[in-house]
Amino acid sequence: MQYSKQHQSRRKFPLIDLKRTTLESQEIGRQIAPSSRSKDLENQISDAIDEKIVENNKKIPKRNYIGASSIGEECSRKIQYRFMNYPSDPEREFTAKTLRIFQFGHEIEDYAAKWLRDAEFDLKTEDKFGKQFGFAIAEDQIKGHIDGVILSGPVPIGYPALWENKSANDRKFKEFVKHGVAKTNKVYATQIALYQAYMDLTENDCLFTVVNKNTSEVYYELVPFDKKLAQEASDKAVDILTSIKANDILPRIAQSRDFFLCKFCEYQDSCWGEEPK
């Protein structure tokens, strides 16, 4: 009986008028729902930020050299166009969203470097003048800038060792885990080989790291020096420079603009001789 009284006392609350509460909630919802005017202002904010991101990117001076990060591209004509500062097709220029993705990649690299240093790896990313380590050959027409070099650490991987870091979405990250960099991304593999060759870091494996942008997992791979790949890439870069000096445009990579690499190329219209739409 005692339990019954206590149980009854707990039920002594005023009854709620559900109909009235529902109507009041609907009214509040109408008051706080975004109006067409506020939505317009929100769109203006988004447009203003995106436009500034694109504008600032266009102010960055174009490269006047072939970068080690691009020599691994399959299409030599695309590399040639970049070196010659051909304008991208207007509808294929980098969007603000893409530029933000690039920026996040740079920020992630800083975190990855910190994690290595916190684990007592002696990682150097800049010289005494605060400049990124790199190399330049062929009268400065071929250059590369490395993410860093590891001088020592708690794990006996062989030092000094090149460090190269990338970030990837979950799908691409899993490909790196399953297949490794050589099979997953030839551009990255070529970049690593060239860095090892021209930074005189061929004796020890490169520590290649990839940060998963979806889960924050990190993939670690020790990449041995690929002399053949480095030589092929160097010869390819020299051939591109030679063709430019001779005023020759290199052949297209495909017979049709519908080829999958051409579909996503920023020079598709220029390459196939059509005026941008």
Query: Which pLDDT does position 103 carry in this prediction?
Result: 84
> What confidence tens digit (pLDDT) does each residue in 143-175 have?
999 999 999 999 999 999 999 999 999 999 999
Q: Indicate the pLDDT class of residue 178, thresholds 50, 70 and 90.
A: very high
Cβ distance 71 to 233 under 8 Å?
Answer: yes
Quick: pLDDT tens for 247-276. Answer: 999 999 988 888 988 988 889 888 887 543
Summarize pLDDT for 189-210 with one digit per residue, the tens: 999 999 999 999 999 999 999 9
Residue from 137, 132, 128, 166 nearest 149 by CA: 132
- Residues with Cβ within 8 Å of 108's Cβ and at least 6 positions away in sequence, in order, are 165, 167, 211, 213
Q: What is the mean pLDDT of residues 64-89?
A: 90
**Would you list the domain boundaries of the chain?**
76-271
pLDDT at 28 (0 to 100):
57
Residue 151 is predicted with a pLDDT of: 98
Tens digit of each residue's pLDDT (9 = 90 or more) over 117-142: 999 999 999 998 999 999 999 999 99
- Structurally, at CATH architecture level, domain 76-271 sits in Alpha-Beta Complex (3.90)
| Greater model confidence, 39 or 181 | 181
